[in-house]
Structure 1
Amino acid sequence: MVQTRRRLKSRTAWTAACLGVTLMALGACAQGPIAAVPTPGVSIETRIAQGPLKGVDEGAVLSFKNIPYAAPPVGDLRWRAPQAAPHWSEVRDASTYGDDCIQPRPAWDDTQSRLPTSEDCLSLNVWTPKHRTGGPAPVIVWIHGGGFIMGSGSQPIFDGARLAERGAVVVTFNYRLGRFGFFAHPALTAEAGAAPTGNYGLMDQVAALQWVHDNIAVLGGDPSRVTIMGQSAGGGSVLQLMNIQQAHGLFHRAIVQSGGGRDQWPDLKAAGDARSGESVGVAFASAQNLRNASAADLRAIPVDRIKGRLDLLTPEKDTFSGPIIDGKLVTTQVLSAFTRGAQADVPMIIGATDLELGVVPALFRGMVADRTIADMNIPRDSLTPLYGDRSTLNTYMPSELTFAEPARRLAALDAARNRPVWLYSFGYVPEEKRRDTAGAGHATDVPFSFDNLNRMKGSFSEADNRTAAALADYWVAFARDGRPDAADRPAWPRYDARTDRALLIGNDGVTVGPVPNTQRLDALGRLRDSLNAAPR
């Protein structure tokens, strides 16, 4: 039973943030205990399996923040799989966010949280509808992006209230980042034995989903209707969770926003001098003057050294691997799994923005294109004929090669097995920005997905807000019914490669039409396949 206490709501007043470029159940019951209707602006209490919580009534929704879903991964728990979440007996304040995971704070991305960072960061946040009819609500679990280096579940544009008002329980969470989240070394591999190693951030994601499965009914959610949804690295995480056996059964739909799909994660081990998760970890340890390091030696490395200078513009590839194919948790590249039909058989929405890296200034587009070509080991000469000139290639190739082509390919592979999948292309630019912006850049769809334009800098028109409302309606309908049917919205048919049609969210409205630039996408796909760049 929820109790009410008169208290002014105490929350951090966030400055609305503009979107920069982001490159890459003990005591539970099925109906949930939230039955009393608290007065807006006062504290509310409820109890989950771990102990009592004090959250906030936000009007149409109730929020509970900074709930630990695993033990703090500090001291001897650094670079270990997440351990059981703590319990408490006193009422825990869940009115404000907890610390973010350790990460860089780039000045150029105003969408990031400015909360303190620490290793004690494995917490989640829940927004739940105050008035529910028809039983438990569908659940949307958001996985943030940021290149597995930065980001958090507490970023202002991820506030789940507007989606919760539509009838969904929304969960955001933190997971370990950078070398804290993705680090392999022979000493840690030996210590893990038959258990997974290296991908601690992904282990955190599975642990968060397990927490949702075990606890969300208490907070009004339906554990049999969980949608995982993510963008960029979060979208890539959704794709891998579809292939991680430990996650199967913990979610029932998937939304992938600009998640790639052809990424080549390194193996844990490799023959000779080939780059691997372990070889990169050994290089990092050597840089700390640790040779033949033990697990204890590694855990004694100071926090600042582990953090290093790593950020999206300084990837430190010699000493940071990112996610790896460890053989125990992550066992395959995404495209390989989809080609074999080995991914989770769940409904999926997948797509990308129409000009992912278009927000990169023209002066730097060549550099980004060169880096994309080098990373994917594709000769520039084979790409030039597809675009005609260098400027066009620099503008469109990174977007199409990295995001649009893989999204369409994965949709086609899903559809070929008669699995329900819907493809979209997001090309909407807010009216105020159209004079200077030709297309929708990477992550510009995220505040629309959450209907949170009010969390952004600048002014937004009625048309902008209508588009955000439409996208949020589609997402919640999908979470509710397993298909993106929404009242008063254009019908969105399942993807079929023979007709090759998608939902097009553009400046002229929301329509269904042919996938843009299909000839180029086909050629890019053939090129990558012919160069053996497709996952094994």
Structure 2
Amino acid sequence: MKPCKWLLTFFLVAFSIGESVIAAPIVQLHSGRVEGRSVNGVDAFLGIPYAKPPVGKLRWQRPLSATSWQGIKKTTAFGPSCLQTPMKGSSTPLPDHYSENCLTLNVWRPSRGNGRLPVMVWIYGGGFVNGGSASPVYSGKAFAKSGVIFVSFNYRLGRLGFFAHPALSGNLFRGNYGLMDQIKALRWVQDNIISFGGDPNNVTVVGESAGGYSIHALLTSHYSRNLFNKAIIESGGGRYQINGQYPWKKAQQTGVRFAKQLGIESSGQQALAKLRSLPGKTIAGDLNMWNMEAQRQTYSGPMMDGHVISENPEKAYRAGDFAHVPLLVGANDDDLGFVRQHYQNRAQVLAMFGQHQSQAAKAYRDIQGTKALSELIARQKMMIEPARFVAQEFAGQNVPVWEYRFGYVANAREGQWQGAKHASEIAYVFKTLAATYGPNVTARDQKMADLIHQYWVNFAKTGNPNGASLPHWPAYSSKTDQLMWFSPKGATQSHALRDPQQAQLNMVETLAK
């Protein structure tokens, strides 16, 4: 084996994989040395602590740097996912291993590489109540094989990650502990990624759903500036309705109600001590994506804490108060949306547009059925139009931005799905189709994965998704309103075009004003 040019040493202990014998890679971090595993040209370091366990008195505190260790720590298995009630039917299932002591991260890198490589940092979705970095769908192997160092991490969820209470109000860093974990992980990358051969000045954050919303928060928070250089947001919204429901005082009231539900009546330090003494499972409860809305009386989610989040993203973008870094943003054609009332006919649905009702009737004239119409508008309001809004704001302030819409449906789901569901693009981005569809992956499926993966890799490397042999993807401009359409017909039919929902999204935009 030729020596790498990276600042590391290789531990001269070997293990066998099949007929090959590969040296276990060792890296020196600020906190100590870690030993990973090398398989098929990719080094993986799994379960590296990036912060102290957030337990006991550190529950509902900002994360502190991990305690240093002596010797070599084996990092060849994922750490436990953060405490949660698993969601049945998840497209990104996790191993059955959960703990409040969960602040670990994972690094994949090419076994051999020259110079400093670009870095991608993944933030998972799950509504801030579910999710973890150990899902096979989130494996960073394909990115490493494409010449990128890939990092994923766990962050606190549910009431353990997002909690306000009067006894915590005196803390400068309060409430959004899960977001603080994300910032801590990004600081860890800045401090340590060079030891893996990564470039701390070429870091791209990537997130989907709640992970995408998190990136809106990171882009607009003053506590995360200079921690990354580019961003990719997949189905992360971007307007006020995704955030802003919970100002700090309202979140405090929610925390008090939760404490009273557990028999803790006071609101001072004694109450906080009692809350911290409870088992983590008691705090987490049965909260998950399926019942989150029903538990809003005792769970706030992300809140306006006044420090980490001091403004909702929509207002920050309009004011130009955000990190001006290249952005890739988009949504899926059958993305997430919630219809919150029953409509008896089309006229009732279109009435939401008020004075624009006649224009809306024209824009949606080809949509058949009341249910189909209300569901389309719901997902346009929640995911599709906000992605365009963000692209417009970035482009309007001369920040490079590219918009996409993902419409491809896997062969295994044809006939079952009318379009690309929320989160269905992830397995293509990661090239982990087998983890989702098993043996039913077709050559056409794989070609779509090759296409979208390469765009993401190019963006991470250069800040521009375009590259040789790929269909040209023009930067977004409000004048042309062009996006990259990942077609239901496959990679060979994917191309840039004027947004086919332009007239409809213009109507949805009026609902946000």
Matched positions, count: 480
- Check the 8 A contact 1:210/1:250 in 2, yes or no: yes
Q: Does 1:502 align with 2:483?
A: yes
Q: Which amino acid aligns with 1:306?
A: I
Q: TM-score, normalised by structure 1?
A: 0.86
Q: Which moved more, 1:179-188 or 1:501-510?
A: 501-510
Q: Which amino acid aligns with 2:388?
A: R
Q: Decide which of 4, 11, 24 is 1:3's aligned counterpart.
A: 11
Q: Does 1:521 align with 2:482?
A: no
Instruction: Write the mapping of 1:400-439 to structure 2, written as runs, cut at 5 A.
Output: 400-439=380-419
Go from structure 1 to structure 2 and tell me whether the alpha carbon gap of 1:299 and 1:379 turns closer, same or farther (over 3 Å shift). farther
Residue equivalent to 1:147: 127
Q: Does 1:446 align with 2:418?
A: no
Q: Does 1:347 align with 2:347?
A: no
Q: Which amino acid aligns with 2:465?
A: P
| Aligned sequence identity (%) | 35
- Check the 8 A contact 2:84/2:284 in 1, yes or no: yes
Q: Does 1:279 align with 2:253?
A: yes
Q: CA deviation at 1:128?
A: 0.7
Q: Does 1:55 align with 2:29?
A: no
Residue equivalent to 1:398: 378
Residue equivalent to 2:223: 246
Q: Which amino acid aligns with 2:175?
A: G
Q: Which moved more, 1:475-484 or 1:104-113?
A: 104-113
Residue equivalent to 2:92: 111
Work out the CA distance in 2 between the residues paired with 1:168 and 1:269.
39
Residue equivalent to 1:27: none
> 1:305-336: CA deviations, max 9, x gaps?
21112111211100000000100111110111
Q: Does 1:356 align with 2:335?
A: yes
Q: CA deviation at 1:90?
A: 2.2
Q: CA deviation at 1:380?
A: 7.1
Residue equivalent to 1:329: 308
Residue equivalent to 2:495: 511
Work out the CA distance in 1 between the residues paired with 2:82 and 2:22.
29
> 1:32-67: CA deviations, max 9, x gaps?
xxxxxxx66553322222112111002221110100
Work out the CA distance in 1 between the residues paired with 2:322 and 2:55.
33
Q: Which moved more, 1:381-390 or 1:317-326?
A: 381-390
Q: Which moved more, 1:473-482 or 1:432-441?
A: 432-441
Work out the CA distance in 1 between the residues paired with 2:350 and 2:151.
42
Q: Does 1:215 align with 2:192?
A: yes
Instruction: Write the mapping of 1:93-492 to structure 2, written as runs, cut at 5 A.
Output: 93-133=74-114, 135-190=115-170, 192=171, 195-262=172-239, 263-270=242-249, 276-293=250-267, 294=269, 295-315=272-292, 316-357=295-336, 368-370=338-340, 381-382=351-352, 386=361, 387=364, 389-458=369-438, 459-492=440-473
Go from structure 1 to structure 2 and tell me whether the alpha carbon gap of 1:474 and 1:312 turns closer, same or farther (over 3 Å shift). same
Work out the CA distance in 2 between the residues paired with 1:167 and 1:488.
18
Q: Which amino acid aligns with 1:170?
A: F
Q: Which moved more, 1:470-479 or 1:204-213?
A: 470-479
Q: Which amino acid aligns with 1:445?
A: E
- Check the 8 A contact 1:339/1:413 in 2, yes or no: yes
Work out the CA distance in 2 between the residues paired with 1:97 and 1:57.
15
Work out the CA distance in 1 between the residues paired with 2:341 and 2:457.
37
Work out the CA distance in 2 between the residues paired with 1:494 and 1:229.
18
Go from structure 1 to structure 2 and tell me whether the alpha carbon gap of 1:40 and 1:330 turns closer, same or farther (over 3 Å shift). farther
Q: Which amino acid aligns with 1:391?
A: K
Q: Does 1:80 align with 2:61?
A: yes
Residue 487 of structure 1 aligns to a residue in which SS?
coil
Residue equivalent to 1:533: none
Q: Which moved more, 1:431-440 or 1:212-221?
A: 431-440
Work out the CA distance in 1 between the residues paired with 2:342 and 2:387.
17
> 1:81-138: CA deviations, max 9, x gaps?
00111211121111110111001112212522124111110000000112223x1100
> 1:325-374: CA deviations, max 9, x gaps?
1001111101111111111010000000011149xxxxxxxxx412699x
Go from structure 1 to structure 2 and tell me whether the alpha carbon gap of 1:151 and 1:49 turns closer, same or farther (over 3 Å shift). same
- Check the 8 A contact 1:351/1:404 in 2, yes or no: yes
- Check the 8 A contact 2:82/2:100 in 1, yes or no: yes
Residue 2 of structure 1 aligns to a residue in which SS?
strand
Work out the CA distance in 2 between the residues paired with 1:206 and 1:186.
24
Residue equivalent to 1:32: none
> 1:359-417: CA deviations, max 9, x gaps?
xxxxxxxxx412699xxxx9873158555642222431221110000000110011011
Residue 79 of structure 1 aligns to a residue in which SS?
coil
Work out the CA distance in 2 between the residues paired with 1:487 and 1:61.
25
Residue 138 of structure 1 aligns to a residue in which SS?
strand
Work out the CA distance in 2 between the residues paired with 1:143 and 1:411.
20
The runs of 5 or more residues in structure 1 that have no matched partner are 11-38, 271-275, 359-367, 530-536
Q: Which moved more, 1:72-81 or 1:114-123?
A: 114-123
Q: Which moved more, 1:386-395 or 1:464-473?
A: 386-395
Q: Which moved more, 1:172-181 or 1:518-527?
A: 518-527
Go from structure 1 to structure 2 and tell me whether the alpha carbon gap of 1:208 and 1:517 turns closer, same or farther (over 3 Å shift). same
Q: TM-score, normalised by structure 2?
A: 0.90
Go from structure 1 to structure 2 and tell me whether the alpha carbon gap of 1:422 and 1:485 turns closer, same or farther (over 3 Å shift). same
The runs of 5 or more residues in structure 2 that have no matched partner are 1-8
Residue equivalent to 2:5: none
Q: CA deviation at 1:250?
A: 0.6
Go from structure 1 to structure 2 and tell me whether the alpha carbon gap of 1:481 and 1:371 turns closer, same or farther (over 3 Å shift). farther
Q: Which amino acid aligns with 1:238?
A: I
Work out the CA distance in 1 between the residues paired with 2:477 and 2:342.
29
Q: Which amino acid aligns with 2:259?
A: A
Work out the CA distance in 2 between the residues paired with 1:431 and 1:131.
35
Q: Which amino acid aligns with 1:486?
A: G
Q: Which moved more, 1:170-179 or 1:467-476?
A: 467-476
Work out the CA distance in 2 between the residues paired with 1:397 and 1:518.
13
Work out the CA distance in 2 between the residues paired with 1:464 and 1:200.
38
- Check the 8 A contact 1:9/1:56 in 2, yes or no: no
